Amino acid sequence: MSLDKIEERIASFISNIEEAVVSKYHDIAVHKQKLYCEQLKSDIGSKGKVVYRINQHSLIDACSEMKNDILFLLKRRGKLIDPIKPSRGKIAGIIAYRLAKNHIIHLCEGCMACTIQCATRLNVEFALRCAWNYIGINYLRIPSEVRKELFYSFAYRHVNQETLGLVFDTIFFAYKDAT
């Protein structure tokens, strides 16, 4: 296969990832718009108040950074990996890292004034859900202690996209056949 053909396939691969992530991000965001507030004991979104907004510029920046990271991964690894098929976990790690670190979700006034702050980790939650969706495993199929540990480590410890890639590869291979 010629170098031009390989570069064309890589560009197509990256473009498809960007489209899928943006689409999934919005699907998850729409699904999550109605959040349950422990303090008010009701759905916040149902009271006509918007809970959060999505910063489109940050989402575009995250997708751009994902493209650069994937291209860098492919160039750095060279012939060690299939030029259009890095592991699912590696891509999921890049997706989760870039989406969470770009602060795409911004809370609105109603939640910002709340003393409980139950919705402050939406960026991390959305990012991890997009990564779960990328590897094709429903996160509810994974034991809750594994999900909680991943969320906690990602939110409160230093993890990078390489580490996340290893974690998602491990999860994919450990649970792909789980029922």
Report DSSP state, residue 47: G
Q: Which of 132, 105, 140 is nearest to 121 (CA)?
A: 105
DSSP-based three-state secondary structure for 178: coil
Does residue 95 register a pLDDT over 70? yes
Question: Residue 138: which pLDDT band, with cuts at 50, 70 and 90?
Answer: confident
Range of 132's domain? 3-175
As given in the structure block, the two tokens for residue 19 are 């489209």
Res 168: pLDDT: 93
Contacts of 94 (CB under 8 A, 6+ apart): 66, 69, 70, 73, 161, 164, 165
Instruction: Note the pLDDT tens digit of each residue in 21-67.
Output: 777 666 666 555 555 555 555 555 555 566 677 788 888 888 889 88
As given in the structure block, the two tokens for residue 68 are 């650069």
The distance between the two most distant Cα atoms of the chain, rounded to a whole number of Å, is 61
Give me the number of domains the chain comprises.
1
Please answer whether residues 31 and 133 qualify as being in contact, where contact means their C-beta atoms are separated by less than 8 angstroms: no
Query: How many Å apart are CA 11 and CA 14, to the nearest integer?
Result: 5
Instruction: Note the pLDDT tens digit of each residue in 160-173.
Output: 998 999 999 999 99
β-strands 105-107, 52-54: how paired?
antiparallel
Question: Residue 156: which pLDDT band, with cuts at 50, 70 and 90?
Answer: confident
Question: Residue 115: which pLDDT band, with cuts at 50, 70 and 90?
Answer: low
Determine which helix (DSSP H) or strand (DSSP E) holds 53, and give its type and residue range.
strand 52-54
Query: How many Å apart are CA 7 and CA 13, to the nearest integer?
Result: 10
As given in the structure block, the two tokens for residue 108 are 């609105």
Res 93: pLDDT: 93
Does residue 83 register a pLDDT over 60? no
